[in-house]
Amino acid sequence: MSQFFGSKQNAGSGAKPSDVPSFNTRPPRSEVSNYSPVPDLVTPIWPSDSALDLNIYVSPSIVVPGFKSFPSDSLVLEEKNFTIGNYSDTREIDTTIKIPKEVQRNGTLWAHFFVGLTGHQLDPTAKDYSTDSAVHFFRPLNQYLPKKKVKKLKNLLASSEETEEEEDDGTPDVSIASYYHPNFTVSVVPDAGAQKYRQVHPAVRQHMQLEATGARDATGQNGWYYPIVFLNTFWQLRSHMMELNSTVETVPMRITLNNLQNWKFSMMASVDENAKANAKQAAFGGQTPGGGDGTEFEMVKEVLLDTNIYLLCTTGVVTILHMVFETLAFKNDIVSLSHHFPFRILLVSNANGYVL
């Protein structure tokens, strides 16, 4: 739980958040002694209420060209003055993107995020670009999942030689395919606070971008990190995905930009990472912790998304009441049984103590 809730728990021992100065008052690298390549305590590099500019480009390559080198249709999001911590500020973008030839041939479609303080340069190739006020990172938009195969089964109840098709889980003959979901949520996490970097959950740590130059405070042990921008795929269902192949030339893309509480982000990132790892392990014949096929959590998400919320709540209340009534009925049976078959406990004293 300490990995989920960040600053208060993670900063409980060793250095305190107040011991780490602001990034603007950091000492020169030459004055830092006992430098640690991996920081101990990290704090946000920018103020918690900063306004951000955010650009997202899609590309089949992880190479970062200048903004002018990107194709004109590769810019899918360009938002300005988005305030960190303003939960009422939600922006939605609906567009269509072209699938490059490389992605059609089982390549990866990357989303390049360029995030910076409002009014500062976001293009890494520009002369006035500074990592003090901007950051670039990339995330994959498609997922490589085991492809279900179709096997032919004979219907023993049919009189003819008809066959039925049934989906198999792909084991042991597993083929991997590239899948894409059109809905994405880009969430800024405003309240991550100070973090013990070595103790952060791995699923959360992969979304943290440390300060690019590796600057440290005077102790050489503590550093800074950029605001966490989370590409949220938690609610993406396998049944809603499309396979990317040579026949797919364009796909829709709907992006929601918002702020997300740190505890929600930590929970979603860790649970989603574990669920995907279990599904992949099960697809290749491995044993999952629950002994299932790795799709159990997918079914839970389908129930939460596709079921009417009032019906779901009613079902939960009825289930709880049923458990209470079953407990009361069991208690009443025990009391009734004791009245029909009374018994007494007699303690007899002897030299060694009491016997029943």
50 or 19: whose pLDDT is higher?
50
Residue range 304-329: mean pLDDT, rounded: 82
Q: Find tokens 């702020």 and name the residue.
A: 259
288 or 242: whose pLDDT is higher?
242
User: How far apart, in whole angstroms, are the C-alpha atoms of residue 117 and residue 246?
Assistant: 40
Convert the pLDDT of each residue in 30-43 to its tens digit.
Answer: 888 889 999 999 99
- Within 10 Å of residue 11's Cβ, how many Cβ atoms? 20
Residue range 140-159: mean pLDDT, rounded: 73
Convert the pLDDT of each residue in 53-81 to its tens digit.
Answer: 999 999 999 988 788 888 888 999 999 99
- DSSP SS3 for 52: strand
Tell me whether residue 21 is exposed, middle or buried, using C-beta atoms within 10 angstroms of its C-beta: 0 to 12, 13 to 18, 19 or more: middle
Question: What's the whole-number average pLDDT of the chain?
Answer: 81
340 or 5: whose pLDDT is higher?
340
- DSSP SS3 for 307: coil
Tokens at 163, concatenated: 């066959």
pLDDT-derived band at 164, boundaries 50, 70, 90: low
Per-residue pLDDT, 78: 94
Nearest to 141 by CA among 254, 40, 290: 254
Residue 289 has pLDDT above 80, yes or no: no
Per-residue pLDDT, 73: 87
H helices present in the chain, as ranges: 2-5, 7-10, 101-104, 202-205, 262-283, 296-306, 309-340
Residue 324 has pLDDT above 60, yes or no: yes
Residue 294 has pLDDT above 70, yes or no: no
User: How far apart, in whole angstroms, are the C-alpha atoms of residue 309 and residue 294?
Assistant: 25
31 or 158: whose pLDDT is higher?
31
Backbone angles phi, psi at 55, to 5 degrees: -120, 140
Convert the pLDDT of each residue in 77-115 to its tens digit.
Answer: 999 999 999 999 999 999 999 999 999 998 999 999 999
353 or 17: whose pLDDT is higher?
17
- DSSP SS3 for 189: strand
Nearest to 27 by CA among 211, 187, 219: 219
